[in-house]
């Protein structure tokens, strides 16, 4: 009898251990398949099928565009390998929050009343204060450096499968989002503040758009084990908390209701991160509300009337359209067609891009206000997507014109290089013939 009891007891312990182990493995497996169909297996700004094709070509060394760009890509990634980890905790001056883990940045249009003295700042619309890049006080330069480095490393890993790139990318991501001693708190309450201003404002939520390309970078790192299960769960937890803050905090709610690019990019972030987390209904609702944002931002003739009257009209127009394109992309995944949406009085994405087409091609000058043509390199991916989805190839010439300007005699950066994998435009990456 005692022997039987002993056997039952041992069997029970074994069974309990087995169940616990299976549960633990299920958790790990969930983390390891975090970019599954449920968490967005497809790329956001790129086309998965084309990316796979390009990778295969790269392995066979028979892709013309790679022979002209690969060294540049790898050079950028090799520089990123020497990049130190970036973290919001590196500020030597604590932000107004009093907590070094909060992200803090300066509203670029605010300047000190007396240069170099005092703490009173006033707005100078249309100007940019170079203080935004101060590492001792603000995190904006750090977040830009971190996201650029992760992108370059992820691209290099995707095409070479060199684990060095994946390992360093994982280290940068872990430091910024996961490690308790260095992680950023999942909100942007103190972004785009200014000395003497309120303790927290919604204006800087737009800077969260810098996180969106990271989701494609994570997809490129998916074949590596550099990110552990704990890392992946930590990243999922961070974006889940950030999404909750965007959706529920007074700052997020106010930003979402703000007309123009701030409201559009707040909504785009909600859609993107909800889709990443597998919260498809939340993502779908965000895309549906994008119809109202088209109505509020685009006139029937295609003019973005609010944006063209701003101190930086071109920047505001391009940024707003990029946000709407991002929403439309998520709409493809959630069954909401923003590309073909047309309001009762004729407001459409198509018309907005059509109106810009001559300018983007370089055939016509900027028709509204001050012209300070910004770099269109980053915008090319959104334009290419619009060309394929709602333009019927109508804007292909503009994409080619932008690429011609970007390429010149230089090798493409990783941003230019991958920015065109979104719509089958990789043919544009081939250098122009002399």
Question: Given this model, what pLDDT does residue 177 score?
Answer: 98
Report in angstroms the alpha-carbon separations of 290 from 268, 296, 343: 8, 10, 12
Please state, in angstroms and rounded to a whole number, the distance separating the CA atoms of residues 27 and 314. 47
Question: Given this model, what pLDDT does residue 12 score?
Answer: 53
Question: Given this model, what pLDDT does residue 304 score?
Answer: 96
- What is the sign, positive or negative, of the torsion defined by CA atoms of 229, 155, 268, 386? negative
Please state, in angstroms and rounded to a whole number, the distance separating the CA atoms of residues 311 and 222. 42
Q: pTM to 2 decimals?
A: 0.85
Per-residue pLDDT of the chain (434 residues; tens, 9 = 90+): 545 545 545 455 445 544 444 444 343 344 434 444 444 447 887 777 767 766 776 666 544 444 455 556 778 888 999 988 999 999 887 667 678 999 999 999 999 988 766 678 999 998 999 999 998 899 999 999 999 999 989 988 988 899 999 999 999 999 999 999 999 999 999 999 998 889 899 999 999 999 999 999 999 999 999 999 999 999 999 999 999 999 999 999 999 999 999 999 999 999 999 999 999 999 999 999 999 999 999 999 999 999 999 999 999 999 999 999 999 999 999 999 999 999 999 999 999 999 998 888 888 888 887 766 667 877 888 888 888 888 777 887 887 777 665 544 344 444 445 444 444 444 444 333 33
Question: Given this model, what pLDDT does residue 159 score?
Answer: 84
Q: Which of 198, 208, 178, 179 is nearest to 103 (CA)?
A: 208
Report in angstroms the alpha-carbon separations of 257 from 239, 265, 289, 360: 21, 11, 11, 30
Question: Given this model, what pLDDT does residue 388 score?
Answer: 82
Q: DSSP state, 200?
A: -
Please state, in angstroms and rounded to a whole number, the distance separating the CA atoms of residues 277 and 257. 23
Question: Given this model, what pLDDT does residue 118 score?
Answer: 60
Report in angstroms the alpha-carbon separations of 46 from 50, 419, 421: 8, 8, 5
Residues 6+ apart with CB under 8 A from 46: 216, 418, 421, 422
Please name the residue ranges forming H helices in 204-249. Answer: 212-220, 229-248
Please state, in angstroms and rounded to a whole number, the distance separating the CA atoms of residues 169 and 154. 7
Question: Given this model, what pLDDT does residue 321 score?
Answer: 97
Question: Given this model, what pLDDT does residue 372 score?
Answer: 66
Question: Given this model, what pLDDT does residue 76 score?
Answer: 84
Question: Given this model, what pLDDT does residue 72 score?
Answer: 61
Return the SS3 of 193: strand
Question: Given this model, what pLDDT does residue 144 score?
Answer: 93
Numbers of helices and strands, H then E, in the chain: 16, 2
Please state, in angstroms and rounded to a whole number, the distance separating the CA atoms of residues 59 and 76. 19
Radius of gyration (C-alpha) of the chain in whole angstroms: 24
Kindly report the number of other CB atoms within 10 A of residue 273's CB atom. Answer: 25
Please state, in angstroms and rounded to a whole number, the distance separating the CA atoms of residues 225 and 385. 31
Question: Given this model, what pLDDT does residue 135 score?
Answer: 87
Report in angstroms the alpha-carbon separations of 268 from 84, 286, 388: 30, 7, 20
Question: Given this model, what pLDDT does residue 378 score?
Answer: 78
CB contact at 8 A, 221 and 166: yes
Question: Given this model, what pLDDT does residue 114 score?
Answer: 82
Angle at the Cα of 200 (from 185 to 326), degrees rounded to 5? 65
DSSP output for 88-123: GGG-SS--TTS-TTS---B-TTEEEEETTEEEEEEE
HSE, CB side, 13 Å, CA atoms: give it for residue 79: 13
User: Which domains, from first to last, does the chain contain?
Assistant: 33-257 (1.50.10.100), 261-266+276-434 (1.50.10.100)
């Amino acid at each position: 009898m005692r022997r039987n009891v002993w056997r039952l007891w041992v069997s029970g312990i074994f069974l309990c251990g087995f169940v616990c182990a299976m549960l633990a493995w299920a958790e790990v497996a969930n983390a390891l398949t975090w970019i599954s169909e449920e968490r967005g297996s497809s790329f956001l700004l790129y086309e998965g099928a084309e990316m796979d094709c390009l990778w295969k070509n790269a392995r066979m060394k028979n892709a013309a565009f790679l022979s002209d760009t690969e060294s540049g890509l790898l050079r950028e990634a090799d520089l990123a390998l020497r990049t130190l980890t970036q973290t919001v905790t590196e500020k030597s001056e604590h932000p107004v929050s009093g907590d070094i883990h909060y992200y803090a940045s300066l509203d670029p249009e605010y300047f000190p009343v007396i240069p170099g003295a005092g703490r009173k700042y006033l707005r100078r619309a249309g100007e940019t204060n170079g203080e935004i890049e101060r590492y001792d006080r603000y995190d904006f330069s750090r977040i830009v450096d971190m996201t650029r480095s992760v992108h370059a490393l992820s691209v290099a890993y995707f095409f070479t499968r060199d684990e060095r790139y994946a390992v360093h990318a994982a280290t940068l991501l872990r430091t910024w989002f996961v490690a308790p001693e260095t992680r950023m708190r999942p909100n942007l309450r103190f972004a785009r503040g200014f000395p003497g201003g309120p303790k927290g404002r919604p204006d800087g939520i737009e800077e969260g758009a810098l996180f969106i390309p990271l989701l494609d970078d994570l997809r490129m790192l998916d074949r590596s084990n550099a990110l552990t299960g704990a890392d992946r769960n930590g990243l999922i937890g961070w974006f889940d908390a950030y999404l909750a803050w965007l959706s529920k905090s007074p700052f997020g709610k106010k930003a979402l209701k703000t007309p123009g690019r701030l409201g559009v990019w707040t909504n785009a972030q909600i859609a993107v991160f909800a889709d990443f987390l597998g919260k498809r209904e939340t993502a779908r609702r965000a895309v549906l509300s994008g119809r109202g944002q088209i109505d509020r931002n685009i006139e029937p003739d295609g003019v973005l009337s609010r944006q063209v009257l701003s101190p930086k009209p071109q920047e505001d127009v391009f940024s707003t359209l990029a946000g709407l394109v991002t929403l439309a992309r998520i709409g493809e995944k959630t069954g909401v067609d923003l590309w073909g949406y047309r309001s009762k009085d004729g407001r459409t994405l198509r018309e907005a891009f059509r109106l810009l087409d001559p300018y983007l091609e370089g055939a016509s000058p900027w028709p509204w206000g001050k012209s300070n043509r910004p770099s269109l390199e980053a915008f090319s991916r959104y334009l290419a997507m619009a060309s394929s989805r709602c333009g019927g190839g109508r804007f292909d010439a503009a994409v080619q014109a932008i690429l011609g300007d970007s390429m010149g005699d230089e090798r493409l950066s990783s941003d230019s290089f991958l920015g065109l994998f979104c719509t089958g435009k990789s043919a544009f990456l081939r250098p122009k013939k002399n």
